[in-house]
Amino acid sequence: MTNYGTIPTSSSPPINLDYISRAKERLKDGLGTRRPWRQMFDLHCFTLPKSFGESLSRVKTNAGYFLMNYALIVLGIVFLSLLWHPISLIVFIAMMLVWIFLYFLRDEPLMVFNHTIGERTVLIVLSVVTLVVLLLTHATSEILISLLVGVVVVLVHSVVRKTDDLADEEAAGGLLR
C-alpha cells in the first residue's frame, strides 16, 4: 500500500554551508572596492590635464581608486568581443570560474603535492594558462584588439578624470607606487 502525501524522512548528508558563506563574503569584499559608477562618470569631473606630469599623476591616482571598475570595464569589453566566437566565450567563462575558485575565493594557501604555492606563482600560472587557452580558440585578433580597446578606454578615462574629489587618494596612490 502506498502512502500518498507523506513527506520522506530519510536524512541526507548536511551541505557544507560554511564554504558558501565564506565565498560570498570574499566576493563581497572584492567587489566592495568597486567605486560607484555615478562617481566615476560625474561629468563635472572631466577636464583635460594641463601638463604631462598632471596626466601621469591622474592616471596613477585614478588607476588605484577605480581599479575594480577598470577591471570590470576591460572584462566587459573582452566578453562583448567574444560574443561572435561561442567556443572562446565558453572558454572565457570557464577560465573566469577557475580564477574565482583558485585565486579570489581561496582562504588558505594552495597546496600541490604537499608543497605550498605562493600567490605570485598562482597569479602568473593562471594568467599564462588563461591567455594560452583563449589564444588556442583561434580568436587571437579579437582578444588582443579587445584588450587594447579596454586599455585605451581606461587610459583615456584616467587621464581626463580629475582627482580632486576622490576621498581615498592616499590609499589609492599607494597601490601603484
pLDDT by residue (tens digit) across 69-125?
A: 888 888 889 889 888 888 888 988 898 888 877 877 777 777 888 888 887 888 888
- Which has the higher per-residue pLDDT, 153 or 115? 153
Amino acid symbol at 166: L
The H-assigned helical ranges of 66-118 are 67-81, 86-99
Query: In a 3-state reduction of DSSP, which class is residue 112?
Result: strand
In the chain, the amino acid numbered 148 is: L
pLDDT at 66: 84
- Average pLDDT of every residue of the chain: 79
Q: Which residues lie closer than 8 Å to 31 by C-beta, 6 or more apart?
A: 68
